[in-house]
Amino acid sequence: MRLSMKDEKGVALPTLLFIILLIIIVAVFAIKYVKEMLNETEIQDLRTDMLVVQAEAKKDLEKVCFQTANLDENKEEDKHVMPFIDVPANIWYRNAVQYVYENGIMSGTSDITFSPDMATTRGMIVTILYRLEGMPKTGTVNAFTDVPVGAYYEDAVAWASANNIVSGYGNGLFGPEDKVTREQMAVIIYNYHKAMGKDVSNIEGMRIYEFTDYESISDWAVTAVRYCLNAGIFNGNADGTLNPKGNVTRAELAVIINNLA
């Protein structure tokens, strides 16, 4: 008599075992698949996070570089921005003041003022010419009693005197604080160019007669005034005068130095 391998509900035992085994296999693969999916998702999320971090870091780096570049540009621009509130943008001497300031030839009378209308002095003018020549050492001892030791113009006065650019008044006096007239300035420039070996022979022509007050030029200054006019170093005033006896202002001096360049 053969026994039938069926469970209580009449299902064959091998079939039941096969079904159970199949379920287990499917479950194992499902679990493995789910784990792989989870790992892949985590990896993908990590990659996404890394890309986001990289993008943000790149933006931050670009921002820093941009700010640094702007800072450098601003510093460069600052070198060319004059701080003087008394030098208007469209004034006739603006560019000349800009030139002497940028090149360290003339400084302000304060951090924010240039004082363009202030009269210049003998000490101031020889100092500027001395700077134009690179402040050479002369080895000459200051012989003027009114030029204090350590004064900003001390070496310049010694240099100018040694090169016959500006002489003293006699009795050991130089007069460094004395104001300088326009015709005196012409003589100083003429002597300066002659001392530096430049051709100063251009003293002819009718230019000097263009000014209504040419007859007021001192005889000892006529040659120098002619030279400065012909060389384009000096110009007259808008009213057609030269004003030879008028004091040279700081604005006029800046223009003269700019014309010398």
pLDDT tens track, the chain, 261 positions: 443 444 444 546 666 666 776 777 766 666 666 556 546 555 566 556 555 555 565 555 555 444 444 444 444 444 567 899 999 999 999 999 999 999 999 999 999 999 999 999 999 999 999 999 999 988 888 889 999 999 999 999 999 999 999 999 988 999 999 999 999 999 999 999 999 999 999 999 999 999 999 999 999 999 999 999 999 999 889 999 999 999 999 999 999 999 998
Per-residue buried b or exposed e for 68-87, using 16+ beta carbons within 10 Å of the residue's own CB: eeeeeeeeeeeeeeeebebb
- Asked if 251 and 94 touch (Cβ cutoff 8 Å), the reply is no
Q: What is the pLDDT of residue 142?
A: 87
pLDDT of residue 76: 45
Q: Among the residues of the chain, which ranges form H helices?
A: 13-79, 94-102, 122-132, 154-162, 182-195, 222-230, 250-260
pLDDT score at 114: 97
Per-residue confidence (pLDDT) for residue 68, from 0 to 100: 42
**Closest by alpha carbon to 252, among 81, 83, 91?**
91
Asked whether the beta carbons of 251 and 97 are under 8 A apart, the reply is: yes
3-state class of 23 per DSSP?
helix
224, two tokens = 């120098």
CA dist 163 and 191 (Å) reads 9
Contact present, 160 and 166 (Cβ < 8 Å)? yes
